[in-house]
């Protein structure tokens, strides 16, 4: 019997910092860095970063829903971002670094909307939750040197996370849950 794998796609700022938190969980088969939500086919990193394509840096997660649920993946996602910042994430500024959940099914859309509402009602953040929930768009894998960056360049990855302020934010806002940063 063949496993029925599904996809989850999230934009959460710099994709280097969005791979490792998902990559380490049972049931996650692949986490690709890439670009989605724009209007140009096969964009390059330089084009996306320049803001010329409308794409966001994102990760596409291939997972086995019999092992890890989409709800669990959503919970992990929220714990990696500042959902109140519409100008980018941490040190990375600009539209290509904004947050978004790209749903692949009606069920994913419903779960994403419910999780956003739950977060809004939790009182965890003083400002409104601005993360968009959008239909999945074509996903273009980033250049090879961006894939698994945390494994290929552990020192640069660690320095970037420290410099960005992401870890401080996560620690300040999430006292429970994911510790696999």
Spell out the domains of the chain, with CATH numbers in brackets: 6-173 (3.30.1060.10)
How would residue 5 be classed by pLDDT, with cut points 50, 70 and 90?
A: very high
Q: What predicted TM-score, i.e. pTM, was given to this entire model?
A: 0.93
Average pLDDT over residues 134-155: 95
pLDDT at 74: 98
Q: Given 8, 11, 14, 56, which residue is catalytic?
A: 14
**For the chain, percent helix, then strand, then coil, each to nearest 5?**
40, 20, 40
- CA distance linking residue 148 with residue 169, whole number of Å: 23
Average pLDDT over residues 143-149: 94
How would residue 177 be classed by pLDDT, with cut points 50, 70 and 90?
A: very low
pLDDT at 174: 84
pLDDT at 40: 95
Pairing of the two strands 99-103 and 132-135: parallel
pLDDT at 178: 40
The mean predicted confidence, pLDDT, of the chain is 93
17 labelled catalytic: no
How would residue 1 be classed by pLDDT, with cut points 50, 70 and 90?
A: very low
- CA distance linking residue 74 with residue 57, whole number of Å: 17
* Orientation angle between helical segments 16-23 and 70-78, nearest 10 degrees: 140
Give the model confidence (pLDDT) of 13-38 as tens digits: 999 999 999 999 999 999 999 999 99
């Amino acid at each position: 019997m063949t496993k029925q794998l599904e996809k989850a796609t999230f934009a959460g700022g710099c994709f280097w910092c969005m791979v490792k938190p998902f990559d380490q969980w049972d049931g996650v088969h692949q986490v690709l860095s890439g670009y989605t939500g724009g209007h140009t086919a096969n964009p390059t990193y330089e084009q996306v970063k320049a803001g010329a394509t409308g794409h966001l840096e994102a990760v596409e997660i291939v997972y086995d829903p019999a092992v890890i649920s989409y709800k669990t993946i959503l919970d992990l996602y929220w714990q990696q971002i500042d959902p109140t910042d519409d100008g980018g994430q941490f040190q990375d500024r600009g539209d290509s670094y904004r947050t978004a959940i790209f749903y692949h099914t009606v069920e994913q859309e419903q779960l994403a909307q419910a999780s956003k509402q739950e977060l809004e009602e939790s009182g965890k953040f003083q400002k409104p939750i601005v993360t968009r929930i959008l239909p999945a768009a074509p996903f273009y894998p980033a250049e090879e040197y961006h894939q698994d960056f945390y494994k290929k360049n552990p020192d640069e990855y660690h320095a970037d996370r420290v410099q960005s302020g992401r870890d401080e934010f996560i620690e300040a806002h999430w006292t429970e849950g994911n510790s696999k940063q």
